[in-house]
């Protein structure tokens, strides 16, 4: 029987150099980083590597007191690891689909739980969503990234990008919201009449409202964060 031979499996699934640069989608759910100097990635996402690479947990003062204070205050924030050296690093996060963006001076906000990796030249800052901290168990936070370089983020299944235009706001479930363009400032609105229809967690009547001009990325899945249990 010719099917299912080991060599066939190896040939079909083996790693291939695609020449895409620093960030390369080895599969839709595994990111290959062709490391030459340094990269930041979410803690716990490394699945394999080859070469001379040193891994360090994000230092307490690595990014300054301001970011440390925010992380301590929220009790949240996915920890980062710094990979330094040269080689190939493979990262993945719970089998989620990976998207890569090349920033050329633009800015983007990514849900803190969905940020996978970014180049060290990218400027970033943690933005807390204080207004809903008491409405969604554990609250939510996002990371604003801007500058020049690549950013990789994840989503459960295929992401959908919704265009936001003046006079035509977009409303999203916070638990299904992955990212949005940096010039948008989401508001948080509650509508008790939508309590049974919008969302599944303890903050099910809370929505994010995006107004202005830009885009917002959602996923076909409502992520439950930090003890926010489904009802």
> Which of 54-58, 76-80, 214-218 shows the lowest per-residue confidence on average (mean pLDDT)?
76-80
Residue 185 has pLDDT above 80, yes or no: yes
Instruction: Name the residue range of residue 196's domain.
Output: 21-218
Give domain status of residue 10, yes or no: no
Considering 4-18, 27-41, 62-76, the range whose residues carry the highest mean pLDDT is: 27-41
Give domain status of residue 3, yes or no: no
Residue 194 has pLDDT above 60, yes or no: yes
DSSP secondary structure code for residue 213 in this structure: S
> Which of 42-46, 56-60, 111-115 shows the lowest per-residue confidence on average (mean pLDDT)?
56-60
Measured CA angle at 46 (ends 43, 50), to 5 deg: 140
Q: Report the CATH number at residue 163.
A: 3.60.160.10
34 alpha carbon, distance to own chain's centre: 20
Domain tally, the chain: 1
> Which of 27-31, 46-50, 57-61 shows the lowest per-residue confidence on average (mean pLDDT)?
57-61
Tokens encoding 48: 């394999």
Give domain status of residue 133, yes or no: yes
pLDDT (0 to 100) of residue 130:
57
Q: Calculate the average pLDDT of the chain.
A: 83
pLDDT (0 to 100) of residue 19:
77
172 alpha carbon, distance to own chain's centre: 17
pLDDT (0 to 100) of residue 195:
63
2 alpha carbon, distance to own chain's centre: 42
pTM of the model: 0.84
Strands 23-27 and 30-35: antiparallel
Measured CA angle at 177 (ends 175, 182), to 5 deg: 140
Query: Look-up: residue for tokens 């969604």?
Result: 136
Q: How many CB atoms lie within 10 A of CB 90?
A: 18
Give domain status of residue 165, yes or no: yes
Give domain status of residue 143, yes or no: yes
**Where does the pLDDT of residue 75 fall: very low under 50, low under 70, confident under 90, or very high at 90 and above?**
very low
Give domain status of residue 204, yes or no: yes
**Where does the pLDDT of residue 72 fall: very low under 50, low under 70, confident under 90, or very high at 90 and above?**
very low
pLDDT (0 to 100) of residue 59:
59
Give domain status of residue 38, yes or no: yes
Give domain status of residue 32, yes or no: yes
Residue 3 has pLDDT above 90, yes or no: no
How does pLDDT run across 95-117, given as a tens digit for each residue? 999 999 999 999 999 998 899 99
How does pLDDT run across 116-164, given as a tens digit for each residue? 999 999 998 887 765 555 455 444 678 899 999 999 999 999 999 999 9
């Amino acid at each position: 029987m010719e099917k299912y031979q080991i060599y066939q499996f190896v040939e079909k699934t083996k790693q291939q150099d695609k020449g895409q640069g620093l960030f390369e989608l080895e599969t839709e759910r595994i990111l290959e980083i062709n490391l030459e100097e340094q990269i930041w990635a979410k803690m716990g996402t490394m699945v394999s590597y080859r070469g001379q690479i040193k891994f360090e947990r994000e230092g307490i003062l690595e990014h300054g007191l301001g970011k440390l204070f925010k992380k301590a205050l929220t009790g949240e924030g996915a920890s980062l690891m710094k990979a330094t050296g040269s080689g190939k690093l493979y990262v993945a996060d719970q089998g989620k689909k990976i998207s890569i963006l090349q920033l050329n001076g633009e800015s983007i906000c990514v849900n803190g739980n969905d940020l996978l990796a970014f180049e060290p030249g990218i400027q970033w800052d943690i933005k807390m969503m204080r207004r809903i901290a008491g409405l969604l168990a554990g609250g939510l936070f996002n990371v604003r990234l801007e500058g020049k370089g690549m950013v990789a983020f994840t989503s459960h299944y295929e992401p959908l990008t919704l265009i936001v235009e003046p006079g035509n706001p977009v409303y999203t479930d916070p638990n299904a919201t992955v990212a949005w363009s940096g010039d948008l400032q989401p508001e948080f609105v509650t509508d008790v009449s939508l309590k049974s229809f919008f969302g599944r967690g303890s903050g099910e009547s809370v929505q994010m409202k995006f107004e202005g001009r830009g885009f917002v990325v959602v996923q076909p899945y409502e992520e439950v964060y930090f003890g926010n249990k489904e009802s």
